[in-house]
């Protein structure tokens, strides 16, 4: 495969969206290959329709396994329509959330089992995994306080409404994943000011993308 697949992960309120918005133009300016930013759940028409269904605060009756299957279905379509073709064309694909989100949120947050969720996602992705994952870490209380403070800018969805215990399980799972896969997952301290977090991400990506980095 010619391209490079990189993902960003983090609990709610880690600031991924703001970091990526500032990071992508800077990154592109350093690189000789095109950078494609995409996100999950979503990134393709069918996947965005599934996103609406999953995150709609009105869908209170949604079963946890149904939710996990929908995330995996959304991911499958996104992978077929966007990620694989972009990688085949030699692009640097940066995806805002991927399988680790399902392991953390559905596996640990919803308590349906991290191993089961991972296995189901392997069916959906046929084993495609990012070469590097930047995990933006914040304590759950900080993340939730940020969401409250920016409620106007962001849709307050079904997952944001979960208890602090849910968000702590999610963060715990991310920290375990990072400890299990230190070669893939790089933890970034996202409690720092935005400009510093962006700088830390750029420095991390520099080593992964060295071959395409402009002097
Ligand atoms: P976002 O805030 O990064 O757009 O993500 C939307 C929500 O979807 C967020 O609360 C995390 C959740 N999510 C999962 O629960 N499982 C998944 O597999 C993905 C991709 C997202």
Each residue's pLDDT tens digit, 156-196:
677 767 889 999 999 999 999 999 999 999 999 999 999 99
Mean local confidence (pLDDT), 142-166: 80
Pocket flag, ligand 1, residue 71 (CB < 6 Å) = yes
**Residue 135 DSSP code:** E
What CATH number did the domain enclosing 64 receive?
3.40.50.300
Mean local confidence (pLDDT), 111-119: 98
Top-confidence residue, 144 or 158 = 144
Give the total number of structural domains in the chain: 1
Ordered alpha helix ranges (H), 128-193: 140-149, 164-180
CA of 160 from ligand 1 middle (Å) equals: 9
Return d(Cα 149, Cα 194) in angstroms, integer: 16
Q: Which long-range contacts (CB under 8 A, 24 or more apart) does 142-151 make?
A: 142/13, 142/191, 143/11, 143/12, 143/13, 143/14, 143/167, 143/171, 144/12, 144/13, 145/13, 146/13, 146/15, 147/12, 147/13
The strand pairing partners of 213, in sequence order, are: 31
Tell me which residue has its CA closest to atom 15 in ligand 1: 105
Residue range(s) defining the domain that contains residue 195: 4-212
Pocket test for ligand 1, best of 76, 97, 166 (most atoms within 8 A of CB): 97
What is the pLDDT, as a whole number, of residue 160?
Answer: 67
88 three-class SS? helix
Q: With cut-offs at 50, 70 and 90, classify the pLDDT of residue 205.
A: very high
Pocket flag, ligand 1, residue 107 (CB < 6 Å) = no
Tokens of 215: 């002097």
19 three-class SS? helix
The reported pTM is 0.96
CA of 32 from ligand 1 middle (Å) equals: 31
Return d(Cα 41, Cα 50) in angstroms, integer: 8
151 CB-near residues (< 8 Å, 6+ apart): none
Lowest mean pLDDT among 55-64, 140-149, 152-161: 152-161
Cβ atoms 47, 97 nearer than 8 A: no
What is the pLDDT, as a whole number, of residue 215?
Answer: 73
What is the pLDDT, as a whole number, of residue 125?
Answer: 98
Q: Which atom of ligand 1 is nearest to the CA of 10?
A: 3
Pocket test for ligand 1, best of 39, 105, 151 (most atoms within 8 A of CB): 105
What is the pLDDT, as a whole number, of residue 148?
Answer: 85
The strand pairing partners of 5, in sequence order, are: 93
Q: CB atoms < 10 A from the CB of 61, how many?
A: 6
Could you read off the pLDDT of 38-48 as tens digits, one per residue?
999 999 999 99
Packed helices 194-208 and 16-30: angle between N→C axes, nearest 10 degrees:
50
Pocket flag, ligand 1, residue 8 (CB < 6 Å) = no
């Amino acid at each position: 495969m010619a391209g490079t697949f990189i993902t960003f992960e983090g609990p709610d309120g880690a600031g991924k969206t703001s970091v990526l918005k500032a990071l992508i133009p800077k990154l592109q300016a350093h690189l000789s290959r095109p950078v494609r930013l995409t996100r999950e759940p979503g990134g393709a028409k069918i996947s965005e329709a599934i996103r609406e269904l999953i995150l709609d605060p009105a869908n209170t009756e949604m079963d946890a396994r149904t939710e996990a299957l929908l995330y995996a279905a959304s991911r499958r379509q996104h992978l077929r329509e966007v990620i694989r073709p972009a990688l085949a064309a030699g692009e640097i694909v940066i995806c805002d959330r991927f399988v680790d989100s399902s392991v953390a949120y559905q596996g640990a947050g919803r308590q349906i089992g991290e191993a089961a969720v991972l296995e189901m996602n392997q069916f959906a992705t046929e084993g495609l995994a990012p070469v590097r994952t930047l995990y933006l870490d914040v304590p759950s209380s900080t993340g939730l306080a940020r969401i409250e403070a920016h409620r106007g800018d962001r849709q307050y969805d079904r997952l944001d409404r979960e208890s602090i215990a849910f968000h702590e399980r999610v963060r715990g799972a991310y920290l375990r994943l990072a400890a299990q896969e230190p070669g893939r997952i790089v933890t970034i301290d996202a409690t720092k000011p935005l400009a510093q977090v962006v700088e830390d991400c750029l420095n991390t990506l520099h080593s992964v993308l060295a071959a395409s980095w402009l002097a």
